[in-house]
């Protein structure tokens, strides 16, 4: 069985720069072990003898498949249903109702929500379920009036998300039993998200280093637990692009462990139900 020699400092440096260039992930000097453990099997799969060879092979690969495989291995896809709870309370109680009122008043035709770095789909489907539940009580609001665009840089996780299939272990991470019974059905040993919920979500491959202009304008953006992996410079650019995407009056929801201090002056912090969110000024 082939083994890969431990990564050398010079190899870590070029691979660290390569990773940041292509997906924005910023790795500190003490993260060489992470590159070593996550990319060592790809070194062997690519027929290389060391990490330097992998870097060179990625640079000349015209298909970019090796690059995508490397980025896939380096991205963290930790996710669960209704993560942190308060963002979904904010969505139901503060953000959707005034937009629904505009729909009823004829001054709006659609509500658009962007789930950035959506991983295997738990966040955008949680958003869709939260909206669908609100449709039961919010007069004039129907599921087809809400479009959720879910993006991720990884084709692998997007394929899993589009399938809408989850095992028991995945559903045990945050999915309330009543919502599971209402919006999932058994499919062999897996559980399939209801078609009505899947139809509310459109998945697209997207790199957060790029302009989201092609995705259109949004009313609400969920960008959680992803900017923590970016450099300060990248964070500032990302939040500026999100501000452009939502415009004045639009809203941004980030994770409970993040804030925008020193990163953006275009968002004003708001609080509700023990959680925070931001309004674009």
Among positive and negative, which fits the CA dihedral 84, 231, 222, 150? negative
Q: What is the pLDDT of residue 2?
A: 52
Q: What is the pLDDT of residue 1?
A: 43
Of 133, 155, 153, give the one whose Cα is nearest residue 143.
133
Of 109, 121, 27, 107, give the one whose Cα is nearest residue 74.
27
d(CA 147, CA 134): 15
All domains in the chain, ordered by first residue: 9-74 (1.10.155), 86-280 (3.40.50.150)
Q: Residue 204: beta bridge partners? A: 151
What is the residue-level pLDDT of the chain in tens, covering all 281 positions? Answer: 457 889 999 999 999 999 999 999 999 999 999 999 999 999 999 999 999 999 999 999 999 999 999 999 998 777 999 999 999 999 999 999 999 999 999 999 999 999 999 999 999 999 999 999 999 998 889 999 999 999 999 999 999 999 999 999 999 999 999 999 999 999 999 999 999 999 999 999 999 999 999 999 999 999 999 999 999 999 999 999 999 999 999 999 999 999 999 999 999 999 998 999 999 99
d(CA 231, CA 208): 13
d(CA 186, CA 181): 10
pLDDT per position as a tens digit, 185-204: 999 999 999 999 999 999 99
d(CA 233, CA 245): 19
Q: What is the pLDDT of residue 4?
A: 80
C-beta of residue 39 within 8 angstroms of C-beta of residue 70: yes
Here the tokens at position 43 are 């070194």
pLDDT per position as a tens digit, 100-136: 999 999 999 999 999 999 999 999 999 999 999 999 9
């Amino acid at each position: 069985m082939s083994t890969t020699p431990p990564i050398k400092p010079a190899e870590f440096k070029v691979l660290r720069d390569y990773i940041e260039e292509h997906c924005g992930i910023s790795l500190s000097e003490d993260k060489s072990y992470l590159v070593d453990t996550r990319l060592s099997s790809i070194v062997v799969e690519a027929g290389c003898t060391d990490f330097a060879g992998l870097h060179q092979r990625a640079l000349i690969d015209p298909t970019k498949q090796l690059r995508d495989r490397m980025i896939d291995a380096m991205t963290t896809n930790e996710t669960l249903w209704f993560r942190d709870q308060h963002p979904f309370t904010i969505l139901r109680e503060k953000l959707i109702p005034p937009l629904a009122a505009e729909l009823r008043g004829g001054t709006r035709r659609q509500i658009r929500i962007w789930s950035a770095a959506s991983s295997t789909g738990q966040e955008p489907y949680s958003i869709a379920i939260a909206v669908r539940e609100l449709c039961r009580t919010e007069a004039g609001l129907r599921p087809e009036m809400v479009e959720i665009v879910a993006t991720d840089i990884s084709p692998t996780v997007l394929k899993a998300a589009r399938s809408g299939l989850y095992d028991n272990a995945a559903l045990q991470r945050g999915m309330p039993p009543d919502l599971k019974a209402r919006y999932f059905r058994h499919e062999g040993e897996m559980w399939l998200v209801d078609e009505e919920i899947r139809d509310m979500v459109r998945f697209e491959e997207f790199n957060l280093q790029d302009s989201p202009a092609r995705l259109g304008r949004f009313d609400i953006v969920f960008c959680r637990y992803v900017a923590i992996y970016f450099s300060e410079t990248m964070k500032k650019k990302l939040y500026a692009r999100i501000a452009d995407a939502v415009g004045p009056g639009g809203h941004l929801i980030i994770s409970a462990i993040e804030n925008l201090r020193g990163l953006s002056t275009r968002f004003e912090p708001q609080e509700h139900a023990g959680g925070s969110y931001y309004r674009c000024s």
